[in-house]
Chains A and B, each alone.
Chain A
């Protein structure tokens, strides 16, 4: 038995297998994922595994190595997020996102750091030796909202597109701030004396980290696009370039101490458009599937390892500190969101409602990034305290906040319902007005940043397209392109499914309810002349309308972790509308 020979790859494969089997397990029992988010279940599995390992070996199970996390597990998830990020809503809301990510995180870091320092002054807690710097360092790693956890939980609750992109974008971009503050405070800890010039250097460093990350990402993105221009004869390895260049951008940024996450996002968003035009349809599908697969695996592994690493002797349980950390995290996040939203709503058109604010504040989940950062701390005598506090905060946010956010959202929904249900006419007219307004907004180009978008489009058409695209024909108008693309996809799908007639994919409503059963046909014509407002008829109509009225643009996220982009609801709706319009011409 030559176990040593194969040990490392064998164990890795076993872990991945465990993760995937766990995933299958959850979905077998279909009611479970709706009550408990997947991330909780995975952590739970991890806890069990950790317990088993601890029981067997009688020592702490292997802690998730920070290098493994940052170098292997995190990039696929961020790449997936960046590649499939719907760029229009992202850039529409970029101001708000940046505000929450940068200012919000700084607010949280200093707020938590200083309040915890205040707690440490209380003699009864035996915490005097935790200095201000240590508290600030701890604050910097615990304040950051984690994209993995946020994504995992927001999959379950269906919030509107704008809210989704706000929280999601914030969780991605606050990495730059976290990286800078964390490294800054850590270097301060090691320096004997701190001068003001160091503080200013820190501030400057933040800009360097963020902007540098974007530049690195864009460089690699453009190079990737350029490379795919020449891959016509070697279609088989086309998808590889997408992954190689993105990963390189991440590693390069990390090498220069810039923000790797920002770099990989910039790379993915920059290259997407050109790469998709250059590579074949099959390569495109491959890229999509592989990205989703890798990010799924990473995601699952991270949560399991989180569970495993929790068990063990790494913790110092100083309950006052831990409880106050938790309380301050919640309070400062809520305060931060309130204050920032106040400013945002004054200068922006798309107001963030109070229900949105609650979801943003409550959805600030911490996850594996905090966990890895705390293990990276230099060894000092209070490190275990921080580890314990981090673990508790993460478990609390993922379990408690993750599980309760959905019922709370539903509760808020219910509370906002009107006293009387809207009449049929109202419903129709309201939706009519919504579509009208969406159209007028599109015409007036009213999304802010319009000026920059136009400039970018100009730059694109004049220079970038010629260099980066393989076939640069006459630019067709965008509606023709969009229509062609959707028509082609639809035709391919129909051909693949073996049906060329237009068959509705939704379960037929033709025979549901009062309105269409044969025996009641005569009853319908009779009822038409009556004046009574029969509640049964009303309910059926309401139901039918609710299910079938086309949605306006802004509802429902176009990005979903577990579904491929072409299969989300808004695209289906767009296809239908275009086809209907073509038929009516």
Chain B
């Protein structure tokens, strides 16, 4: 498990408790929805769902931290050490996997055209017709699809983003 510094844990814990209005040591979906900026984030609901384990309505601090741990920056010295151990949560692959899971709601390890359409609809304004959106989705799949199944698998997803600096994009530096 990647080591998180003591001060980071304390900070996250104080954030956790301030979100926990019911003061019962767990967060519900309403607690997250109370953050106003999430309400106007197009992906707000999906992000909130990512915190909750399968089928549950409450998340405790451990789960909260575990999800956020995906977004730790990759330290240089971590890259080389521990090749034999389990991959840390904040590796490039795991970061991309986290994002992939937000697309892939039915968890079949593929982003189907429908799933892509749903996300696209959330991300664009009201002026795009369904047909245009459909064309965009088709185009996206066409570019990425290599094994011809008209869906984007995780490997194809990774390939599309190979030129993007995912490590930097998907990291927040917690306070020192």
Contacts and interface: CB of A to CB of B under 8 A. Distances in A.
B38 A431 contact: no
A531 B139 CA distance: 10
A524 to B, nearest CB: 7
A553 to B, nearest CB: 7
Interface string B17-36: 01000000000000011111
A31 to B, nearest CB: 27
A501 interface: no
A515 interface: yes
Interface string A510-549: 1000011000000010001001010001100100110011
A537 B18 contact: no
Contact of A541 (B11, B135, B161): B135
B140 interface: yes
Contacts of B74: none
Interface in B90-123: 99, 102-103, 119-120, 122-123
B100 to A, nearest CB: 10
Contact of B43 (A425, A432, A531, A573): A432
Contacts of A382: none
B146 to A, nearest CB: 12
Given A426-B160, A479-B34, A548-B124, A436 B40 contact: no
A432 B47 contact: no
Given A436-B47, A436-B99, A553 B37 contact: yes
Most chain A beta-carbon neighbours within 10 Å: one of B120, B125, B140, B160: B125
Given A432-B119, A550-B125, A448 B172 contact: no
B49 to A, nearest CB: 11
Given A436-B102, A479-B36, A515-B131, A528 B138 contact: yes
Contacts of B138: 528
Most chain B beta-carbon neighbours within 10 Å: one of A435, A439, A533: A439
Contacts of B42: 435, 550, 577
Interface string B152-170: 0000010011011010011
Given A431-B123, A524-B135, A541-B136, A436 B164 contact: no
A550 B123 contact: yes
A545 B170 CA distance: 22
B172 A437 contact: yes
B63 interface: no
Given A448-B175, A524-B135, A537-B139, A443 B32 contact: yes
Contacts of A432: 43, 99, 102-103, 119, 123
A426 B172 contact: no
B172 A423 contact: no
A349 interface: yes
A444 B140 contact: no
A323 B172 CA distance: 46
Nearest to A479: B39
Interface string A477-490: 11100110000000
B62 interface: no
B176 to A, nearest CB: 8
A544 B134 CA distance: 13
A428 B123 CA distance: 9
Contacts of B99: 429, 432-433, 436
A446 B174 contact: yes
A415 interface: no
Contact of A442 (B41, B126, B128, B131): B41
A437 B139 contact: no
B140 A438 contact: no
Contacts of A544: 128, 132, 136
A419 to B, nearest CB: 10
Given A428-B140, A432-B119, A537-B139, A440 B15 contact: no
Contacts of A445: 15, 18
Given A424-B139, A550-B125, A578 B39 contact: yes
Contacts of B37: 438-439, 442, 553
Interface size class of chain B, counting residues whose CB lies under 8 Å from the partner chain:
35 or more
Given A446-B174, A448-B175, A545-B136, A550 B71 contact: no
A483 B102 CA distance: 25
Contacts of B127: 504, 506, 508-510, 548
Interface string A425-468: 11011111111111111111110101100100000000000000
A438 to B, nearest CB: 6
Contacts of A504: 126-127
A576 interface: yes
Contacts of B33: 479
A201 interface: no
A437 B36 contact: no
Contacts of B122: 580
B171 to A, nearest CB: 8
A583 B176 CA distance: 42
Contacts of A541: 135-136, 139
B5 interface: no
A439 B123 contact: no
B44 interface: yes
A533 B139 CA distance: 9
Contacts of B79: none
Contacts of A451: 14
A574 interface: yes
Contacts of A538: 139
B143 interface: yes
A426 B47 contact: no
A429 B170 CA distance: 12
A515 B38 CA distance: 33
B6 interface: no
Interface in A348-365: 349
Given A435-B42, A444-B172, A483-B39, A580 B126 contact: yes
Interface of B: 11-12, 14-15, 18, 32-45, 47, 51, 68, 71, 99, 102-103, 119-120, 122-129, 131-132, 135-136, 138-140, 142-144, 157, 160-161, 163-164, 166, 169-170, 172-176
Interface of A: 347, 349, 423-426, 428-446, 448, 450-451, 454, 477-479, 482-483, 502, 504, 506, 508-510, 515-516, 524, 528, 531, 533, 537-538, 541, 544-545, 548-550, 553, 573-574, 576-578, 580-581
Which 5 residue pairs spanning A and B have beta carbons closest together? A439-B47, A574-B40, A442-B37, A425-B140, A445-B15
18 contacts: A429-B161, A432-B103, A433-B99, A435-B43, A435-B123, A436-B170, A442-B38, A443-B35, A443-B38, A443-B51, A444-B172, A445-B15, A450-B11, A482-B40, A504-B126, A504-B127, A573-B40, A576-B126
Given A516-B131, A541-B139, 8 more contacts: A423-B143, A428-B136, A429-B157, A432-B123, A433-B99, A531-B142, A573-B40, A581-B45
